[in-house]
Structure 1
Amino acid sequence: MRFLFPIFLNICISKAAVFLWSNKKLEISPLQPFTMEQFSNLSKELGDPEVYYFRSSSRISPYIKDVIDGYYSSYVPNGDLDVEESIDLLGSDILDAEKVRETLSHTNKSSNILSVIVIPYKRYKREIEKITTEVSEVKQVSQQQEPVIYKSINTKDELYALLYSSKPLLLKTNDSEPFELHLGNTPSDMIIYDTRLNVNVIPLEGGTKIILRFSISWLNGYWSLPSVKVIVPEYYREYNLTTDEDIMAPAHFSYHCNGYSVFSDGNGAELYIYDLQVQVDSKNGKFGDANDCVSFTTAPIWSGLFVTTLLGIGLIVALTAIMDIKTMDKFDNYKTKNLTITISE
């Protein structure tokens, strides 16, 4: 028992768990700290392989097992690796596996590679987030007024998807642990556009990544944006939000609406987008002509047309009545016989 306590202590104070795989056999003790020195020694033992370094904010995707099929793998719960250049995973099972597969697409089972996924522990992450929050508190007020634009290209069709909000998006929930977060801009490599627009953004208040998956539908030459799935990976929460607003436009047109657009699930979860403008098929990365949510014939316009029509009808009736009046063609004259007008009932 005396030697088990230091091992347990090392595991508790370690910064991250580490998952490794290679085409060569890995001999790593899961009970010892795995530091950069051990990592360097392992690389030398494997013949200086080509290293791929990934970082995940939540957990390892279960779909990774399909990517590493045929490789040797090892899991170390008490790692302490700090590499400046790494590939950030999105916190989504399918997207993470696809990103790893795409990164390793040019390799094969005979390639000498060593891949690493680091998953920081939440306690350590919260300490970093606390420091980051304290440093950025002064910037938050100005950031919450800045406009936001999410932009990505679909490499298959060479078309851009763009989504604009005049200020950071607001995500509100009303579940057992309610929160209210403002979602600002995010790096372009955190946005993926395929059949959906996937946006991975860290809230201005700090904390875990929020994943927004905007669904895109096409019908008779019109595209629409009917719903968005909001994923909070760290807390394993998902919200399927829809909108009553008809967010749609013809091909190569953008959609625009002043005020705010709301996506909700009816249970208290809501996503607000301010002065929304969106387009999913831009050819040059710029918004096309806008299809505005305010139609040409609004209620005030209809009211004005109705009143004008009534006044026009009254004027026509009056003119017709005036034109129908018949005047006499002969008048009284003292030199002639008096006029006699016969009135019959």
Structure 2
Amino acid sequence: MTVSWFASREQNFAENGKMSASGSSSKVRLMAMFVLLFALFSSQSSAAQVPLLMWSSEGLPPLASPAAGHITSNDQLTAYLTSAFGSGPNTVLLFLQDKLSKEDFTLFGGVFGNKQDSAFQNLEAALQASPSSVSLPALEWSDSSVMLALLQEKLDVSPVLVDADTLSHLSINTSASNLLLINLPYCSGLEKSCKEVLHENDGIIGEVLSIMKDKDVHFTAMYTGLQPSRAVEPTVKEPIMFNVSGNPCIMLWAQNLNISLTGEWIDLAAQTPLLDGSICNGSNSLLVLTYASGHILRFAMSQRLYKVSARNWFTLDSVQLQSKNLTASYIGRRNIYAPAEYSFHCQSVTSFRDTLLVPSNNNQNTTQWRLNFVDFQIQGFGLANGTNFSYASDCAGFFTAGIWMGLITSLLMLWIFVYGMHMIMQLNTMDRFDDPKGPSISVPQTE
């Protein structure tokens, strides 16, 4: 997911070691915010998250900008709010929108330089005018009531639901803490577009901030969402892991474990297997995957010391597919290998095209069986990283077909260039010329 445009403001504070609110530098920072939001749009995380904007009329403790893709936990937010509010009374404005995600800033925040088209003009102006601000592009979200409950705990006060009209007539006691809650809607139908709703919300934010300025009350404002406005992608499935004495011994992960018995493909990765019969020791590992559909996959691996390289290597010796008392075997030791402390990874492991698994079938009934493993990774030894794979040795060679084509073409062009330069350098200049003032050269026409 993206890191929204407001993140660059804290980046400038961390780089300069101080907080500044000069007009020209604020514009530069704000433009950098939009650029950063769009540039990191591709780093989307699968965990549910909402952005959080926080600024103050007085000042906030500095906070290092989170790395791209980092999700701020509730514990980290709690620790920062403790230092931000400290002791003494605080007046907090909580702009709580029904839904909010970083993509809202990307789509409607004028990140492409068209500032007049931004739906957050008042919000941008507040950030520019504030002495300091904090942005958490990806705040961990688990429940819609977490933020409000956290502020109630820190301020030890109940929230007061207000809008622009009631706030203008509200008497704020600055000698005690105040938590003013402003609910903001989000687009939910066809009556108004999301941009129109966000623009109206931005107008409410501007009006509330103007009222607080007229009241001459120091405050801290926060803008976040009750829940994400964008659907969360499903989490990546966990690898298949065989444990011995509570420690991982064999790990396997694949996006697809496709098998074909009669021409129709079946993806076994969508099923949860049993690992009964799996074993592993210092020299051999066997991973047995038994599926409810009746199919069984066996991955046999071994490792040994190779004197030439002076290191241990492991090989995937064979893969067996069993179905209805029939078994097909495939040899992998010739193509599937890696250093013993590494894992093996390959984007495509098949038994029929660019074959890494060579069929070794004696049964005529299994000659048509096929395997196709997509984004396949396996490790049977040296799992020193706990539940994580070790460094992957990929099946793609250093000199791929494309690299060879580029090298051969470049060498051919270089040879033509060198040959041409050699021919040019061999040209000789004539050492005699016809003198127009001297006698003419006579060339006999007959023998």
- Report the TM-score, using the length of structure 2 for normalisation: 0.35
- Report the TM-score, using the length of structure 1 for normalisation: 0.44
More strand by share: 1
